[in-house]
A and B are shown apart, each in its own frame.
Chain A
Amino acid sequence: MATGRKYYLVALLSSVTCVVALYVYVHRQGRTTWIDSGIISITGALQSGVSGIAQGVKGVVDHYFLLVDAKKRNEELESEVSALRSKVVSQEEILLENKRLQEQLSLKAKEKETLLAAKVVAHDVSPDFLGIRIDRGLSHGVQLGMGVIHTNGVVGRIHRVTPSYADVITVLDPSSNMDVIIQRSRARGILSGQSKSLTGKLKYVDRLEDVKVDDLLVSTDFGHIFPKGMMVGTVTGVSPNSNGILQSISVKSAVDIYRVEEVFLVFPPRQSEKAIN
């Protein structure tokens, strides 16, 4: 009886191991089956509904109950807007000058990316990973690896797509790696996410490179995933690495992943027409 039970346990363990191995193999590199798509459609619709209700309640609370400091805040914002207006005017001037000079040098105008707005319907269920789900999918032209941005900066990349929804790996997720440059010194590095801490790590930066706290990190146009020069984050700490070759740099993301509600999908220049259609 005991031997029979032992065989039963061994057979069960072997079967489970085989099933799990096969399952991991089938799903490698973000592939999804029709069953997964069906499940994601159901959970996505549920999450979308819950998210809508939560947004409605939040809207009521924000617009009717939390207006105590609204006047003071409004005055602050008005002064900020006027300061920013003057900045925009001077930058427009630079832009026009840049365009004029490019024309004189006969440089070809760079093709522009197209953006598609999407709503965040859910955040990652695991506290160790930092993904988000958006309400755009294959039917809207979304593809694996596409860039996702916010008005404050870069959010992440698409890593799973179903007909109606897509999952995004944010720049702070442990599995995210992104090519970035420091705006001031033009030093290049790879930004990797770290679990839970809501900060990233800038890797492979030579110790001789000029990096300071509060330096801005911006995106590059490698692979046309993100618009060039898009804000990614800010350097919060710099220290020499123990091996003496590289620097250890911690980075704070430009976008607060837990507060983001709307994002934009970046369609590369070639796919822009398809997205518009």
Chain B
Amino acid sequence: MPSFFTGWDLLLPIVIYLGQRRAIWEGILIVLFNSHLYSLNSSAPIGLFVCYYVGFFFFARLVAYIVYAQTPPSVFTLLFLVTILARFVLPLISQSFDQSIFILSWANWNLWNLILNSVLGFFIYLVLGQLDRLTLKVPPRSITLGDNIL
């Protein structure tokens, strides 16, 4: 099957969004539940994806203190860098669960997958942003930055 149908990680942009835009206590509960759900639908050892996504949640939280991704270029750059970082982090975490995912395997560095995940993640990020605006979780327009895109 082509990698187009198999290389998606839809949860990662959601986790990054929660890490950037939500309170820690609220985000961590959603991330813990979703990553457990993800684990139950995967053959990976339970706990691997929980460590992976919780780690990225806190990473996104820390990044939010430096870069608050709000404009489309900053969101896309953040997601592209996270997608690349994820290729290193998952094999490293998987080593502690006795899994043999090789960091330097060419299959891990499929450029098409990196771009696809970044673009898909970008759109998920946009949709979540719009959803927050529709539910009035955030103000419909940013007062400080004027007519913002997200």
On A, residues with C-beta under 8 Å from B are 9, 12-13, 16, 19-20, 23-24, 27, 30, 36, 39-40, 43, 47, 122, 124-131, 133, 159, 167-170, 173-175, 192-197, 258-259
Contact = CB atoms under 8 A, between A and B. Distances in A.
A126 B10 CA distance: 10
Contacts of B99: 174-175
Interface in B104-127: 105-108, 113
B100 A174 contact: yes
Contact of B41 (A9, A124, A159): A124
Given A196-B105, A196-B108, A130 B54 contact: no
Interface stretch (B45-53, B66-74, B77-85, B137-145): B45-53
Given A39-B40, A40-B40, A167-B43, A16 B54 contact: yes
A36 B113 CA distance: 31
A168 B106 CA distance: 26
Nearest to B49: A126
A12 B25 contact: yes
B105 A195 contact: yes
Contacts of B36: 23, 39
B47 A127 contact: no
Given A16-B28, A174-B94, A174-B99, A258 B1 contact: yes
Q: Is the interface of B mostly helix, strand, loop or mixed?
A: helix
B43 A169 contact: yes
B63 interface: no
A129 B101 CA distance: 9
Interface residues of B, number: 39
Contacts of B88: none
B98 to A, nearest CB: 7
7 contacts: A20-B51, A127-B113, A174-B94, A192-B100, A194-B100, A194-B107, A196-B105
B102 A129 contact: no
B37 interface: yes
A83 to B, nearest CB: 30
Interface string B11-44: 0000000000000110010001000111011111
B20 to A, nearest CB: 17
B6 A258 contact: yes
A27 B45 CA distance: 8
Contact of A197 (B7, B32, B44, B105): B105
B43 A168 contact: yes
Contact of B102 (A170, A195, A259): A195
Nearest to B28: A16
B102 A159 contact: no
B9 interface: yes
B47 A36 contact: no
B9 A127 contact: yes
B58 to A, nearest CB: 8
A243 to B, nearest CB: 17
Nearest to B33: A39
Contacts of A197: 105-107
Contacts of B28: 12, 16
Nearest to B5: A258
Given A20-B50, A194-B100, A43 B6 contact: no
